[in-house]
């Protein structure tokens, strides 16, 4: 028996005339990902991609695991492929459905006949297969409204496809279909989750991280790089910009009122991100900010940070609480790395009493006490870039 995978589109299925562009992107993303697993053939029909292993070494279960993390996929189904002969399907279905029906109380059959030359209608197929399932699994009952398991048979040009398990896909839009954005990635719990959420909307997510050695350690940087590597599971390849931020932070410390340290620092981070966006073609900045989480994320503080941005700032976590964010972080596999205890540059020189209601006028005045612009240019000229490739060794650029 041959087993293949059917991939059903998520939101792409709703697209109009430009649907094919999205389909091509999704298929390319899938191909790139599965290349690491084996040799697979692809065919596309009616909002479905059929993926077939081309040799013994190309494992279908491994492919399913990888597919679960690809945005743009609504559902994934493994199927057994039989000759287009109802007798053959009936003979073998007991064996193939054993795992799926084990422990189930009810089932129903859904038949679809794409090949209209097949001698039975869909209701006739459903009847015959239903009887065969009952013969093989005498304890199970039929429930056409709310079954535990739906057994599906599709008659297509080149075979009969039988499946019983439908796995929910990662949803969203194919990475790359919405353009690219720059994620401000710290070592915390929030920002990797923010990156995941925007990759889900079809953005290529590249990362920018600010370091302040010797106040922040090499291990803190390694931790953020590990997060980047972990994020490639969902986001695909990631460019990582590492910006030296020590001199800027020291200048803030020496020249600005302490109560504004964090907001000014965040604004300078954003100003650096602006320039990288302009230079390398990013259309937005992403942050892991969540309203009211800390003093720098009150409405007035976010307003001051936002005023420094020359690009749309996406804050997908803005309305989520820490428990929800943490749950997602566990789900996407970044939590354990995020909670490693190394310091972030935000915690260096953090004020004892930060202003929770800063005024932009005061902030601008404080910033004008020093020539930050030339420091920003210097930091950018000293920025290093690496490329993290999904499932591959890190590339240094």
Stretch that binds Mg ion, among 182-190, 223-231, 245-253, 362-370 (CB under 5 A): 182-190
Largest Cα separation within the chain, whole Å, is 84
From the list 166, 167, 165, 96, the residue with the least C-alpha distance to 137 is 96
Least distance to ligand ATP from the beta carbon of 207, Å? 8
Per CB under 5 A, 195 contacts Mg ion: no
CA neighbours closer than 13 Å in the CB half-sphere of residue 140: 29
One symbol per residue from 333 to 352: x for binding Mg ion (CB under 5 A), - otherwise; what is it? Answer: -----------x--------
- Per DSSP, 253 falls in state H
Which CB sits closer to ligand ATP, 142 or 292? 292
Contacts of 322 (CB under 8 A, 6+ apart): 189, 290, 293
Which range, of 146-154, 170-178, 287-295, 355-363, touches ligand ATP by CB under 6 A? 287-295
Using DSSP, state whether 376 is helix, strand or coil: helix
Number of residues that bind Mg ion (CB under 5 A): 3
Ordered DSSP codes for 42-100: EEEETTEEEEEE-STTS-HHHHHHHHTT-TTEEEEEEEEEE-S-HHHHHHHHHHHHHHH
77 binds ligand ATP per the rule CB under 6 A: no
Contact pattern from residue 202 through residue 221 relative to ligand ATP, giving x for each residue in contact according to CB under 6 A and a dash for the rest: ------xxx-----------
Q: How far is CA 70 from CA 25, 27, 62, 195, in A?
A: 11, 10, 13, 14
Choice between 153 and 194, CB closer to ligand ATP? 194
- Output the smallest distance, CB 334 to Mg ion, in A: 13
186 is a contact residue toward Mg ion (CB under 5 A): yes
Find the binding residues for ligand ATP in span 307-346 (CB under 6 A).
Answer: 344-346
Restricted to residues 209-238, the positions that interact with Mg ion (CB under 5 A) are none
Per partner kind, with CB cut-offs from 5 to 8 A, the member of ligand ATP, Mg ion, none near residue 367 is none
Look at the block and give the residue holding tokens 């925007």. 198
Q: Token pair 């739906």 is at which residue?
A: 150
- Per CB under 6 A, the segment of 8-16, 98-106, 187-195, 274-282 that binds ligand ATP is 187-195
* 190 touching ligand ATP, by CB under 6 A: yes
What helix, strand, coil percent values describe the chain, rounded to 5?
40, 25, 35
Choices 11-19, 36-44, 120-128, 178-186; region in contact with ligand ATP by CB under 6 A = 178-186
Query: Considering the rule CB under 6 A, would residue 225 count as an interface residue with ligand ATP?
Result: no
Strand (E) or helix (H) holding 150: strand 149-156
Stretch that binds ligand ATP, among 19-27, 124-132, 159-167, 282-290 (CB under 6 A): 282-290
**Nearer Cβ to Mg ion (27/293):** 293
**Residues 336 and 223: beta-carbon distance below 8 Å:** no
Q: Which of 74, 147, 176, 188 binds Mg ion (CB under 5 A)?
A: 188
Does residue 188 bind ligand ATP (CB under 6 A)?
yes
- Of 143, 145, 160, give the one whose Cα is nearest residue 104: 143
Chain residues that interact with Mg ion, rule: CB under 5 A:
186, 188, 344
């Amino acid at each position: 028996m041959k087993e293949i995978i059917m991939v059903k589109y998520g939101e792409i299925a709703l697209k109009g005339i430009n649907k094919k562009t999205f389909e091509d992107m999704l298929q390319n993303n899938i191909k790139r990902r599965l290349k690491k697993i084996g040799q697979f053939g692809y065919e596309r029909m009616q909002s479905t991609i059929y993926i077939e292993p081309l040799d013994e070494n190309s494992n279908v279960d491994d492919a399913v695991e990888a597919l679960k993390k690809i945005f743009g996929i609504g559902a994934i189904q493994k199927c057994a492929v039989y000759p287009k002969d109802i007798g053959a399907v009936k003979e073998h279905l007991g064996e193939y459905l054993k795992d799926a029906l084990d422990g189930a109380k009810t089932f129903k059959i859904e038949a679809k006949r794409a090949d209209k030359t097949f001698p039975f209608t869909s209701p006739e197929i459903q009847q015959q297969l239903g009887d065969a399932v009952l013969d093989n699994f005498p304890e199970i009952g039929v429930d056409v409204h709310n079954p535990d398991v739906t057994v599906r048979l599709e008659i297509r040009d080149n075979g009969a496809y039988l499946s019983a398990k439908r796995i929910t896909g990662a949803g969203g839009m194919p990475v790359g279909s919405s353009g690219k954005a720059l994620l401000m990635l710290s070592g915390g719990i929030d920002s990797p989750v923010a990156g995941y959420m925007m990759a889900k909307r079809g953005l290529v997510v590249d990362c920018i991280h600010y370091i302040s050695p010797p106040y922040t350690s090499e291990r803190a940087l390694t931790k953020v790089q590990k997060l980047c590597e972990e994020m490639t599971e969902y986001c695909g390849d990631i460019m990582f910009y590492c910006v030296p931020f020590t001199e800027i932070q020291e200048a803030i410390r020496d020249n600005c009122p302490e109560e504004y340290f964090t907001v000014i620092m965040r604004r300078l981070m954003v100003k650096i991100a602006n320039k990288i966006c302009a230079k390398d073609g990013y259309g937005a900045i992403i942050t892991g900010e969540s309203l009211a989480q800390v003093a720098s994320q009150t409405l007035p503080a976010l307003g001051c940070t936002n005023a420094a941005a020359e690009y749309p700032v996406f804050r997908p976590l803005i309305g989520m609480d820490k428990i929800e964010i943490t749950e997602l972080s566990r789900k996407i596999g970044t939590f354990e790395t995020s909670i490693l205890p190394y310091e972030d540059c935000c915690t260096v020189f953090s004020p004892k009493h930060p202003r929770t209601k800063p005024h932009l006028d005061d902030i601008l005045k404080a910033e004008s006490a020093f020539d930050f612009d030339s420091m920003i240019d210097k930091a950018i000229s000293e920025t290093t870039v690496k490329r993290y490739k999904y499932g591959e060794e890190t590339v240094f650029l």
